[in-house]
Structure formats: structure tokens, C-alpha cells
Amino acid sequence: MSPSLAPSDDKTIYKLVFFVPPENTQACLMAIFSARGGIWPNPPLPTGQPDTSPPKYENCAFISKGTGQFRPSKHANPHIGKPGEREEVEEDRVETIIVGTLETVGRAVEALRKAHPYEVAAVFLESKPQDRTIRNID
């Protein structure tokens, strides 16, 4: 377990953020979705009890365009560029969620890394326990 992530239960929400060339975005997302990522949790019932019915929204992600910059060292085998030369590339910043345990997160991140074209992918993860008192704003 990563020292920066607290132990979790099946109600912990993780935000997964990664950067990828636009032509690889959908392949990376499909890998995450196949590992049960991108499922938005149902809001609680009016009684305050959890809604355990099937999810209402799946394959959820936010994608924004940007420019990534890096310089591979002589020890790198880059997907784009050459060692020692600074590169600027168009990239998508992709944000999605994973609800569950660290095991669930591990499967989704492993699937992402297999689908991602970069030798070293920039992947960020943060967690927050679900607050069952939060309601959707109508």
C-alpha cells in the first residue's frame, strides 16, 4: 500500500488523474473502465440510506487539452522525442474516479499503465471517503 494513501473501504472515492497523447486517451479510459473505474456513485436515498441499485452513470471522465513538456535523459526510451532533447507535446489531462478499495484502484491503475504509451506515465491519485450526507443539488 502506498504510504500516502490511507486504508480504504468499498465507499472511498479516488480521483485518478493522468496525462496522455490525445490519440491514446480512449484506449486508456477503456482499460480503466474495464477495471470498474469511472463509475459515479449513486446519491443516498431520501432516507439517508445508501442507494445500492445499479449505478446510474458509468464511463465518467473529464478531459482537457494542454501542452506537456519534458526532456528524456540518456537513460530513457521515450515514446515521443529523443534523449537529451526537450519536447513539447499536445496531451490530454484525464480525470476519472474509482470507488472502492485500494485493490480496486490497483486493478484500474495497472490496466491504465498497460494501455498507456509512455515509458513512465504521470499518474496522480487522491482519496476521500464518501460523505453520505451530501445530496445532489436540484
Does residue 137 lie within any of the structural domains?
Answer: no
Give me the DSSP letters along 84-112: TS-EEEEEEEEEEEEES-HHHHHHHHHHH
Grid cell digits, residue 137: 443539488
pLDDT at 128: 78
What residue has cell string 526537450?
86
Quote the percentage of the chain above a pLDDT of 70: 86
CB 42 within 8 A of CB 53: yes
Top pLDDT among 42 and 33 is at 33
Number of domains in the chain: 1
Q: Which pLDDT belongs to residue 109?
A: 97
- Chain segment 19-41, per-residue pLDDT in tens: 999 999 999 999 999 999 999 98
Residue 108 lies in a domain: yes
pLDDT surpassing 80 at residue 1: no
Comparing 7-16, 18-27, 96-105, which segment has the lowest mean pLDDT?
7-16
Domain assignment present for residue 90? The answer is yes
107 lies in a domain? yes
**Strand order across the beta sheet in which 123-129 lies:** 61-70, 87-99, 12-20, 123-129
Q: pLDDT class for 127, splitting at 50, 70, 90? A: confident
Q: Which residues pair with 69 in a beta bridge?
A: 88
Residue 107 sits in which domain range?
20-45+56-129
pLDDT band (50, 70, 90) for residue 61: very high
Examine residue 74 and state whether it is found in any structural domain, yes or no.
Answer: yes
* CATH classification at residue 105: 3.30.70.120
| 8, part of any domain | no
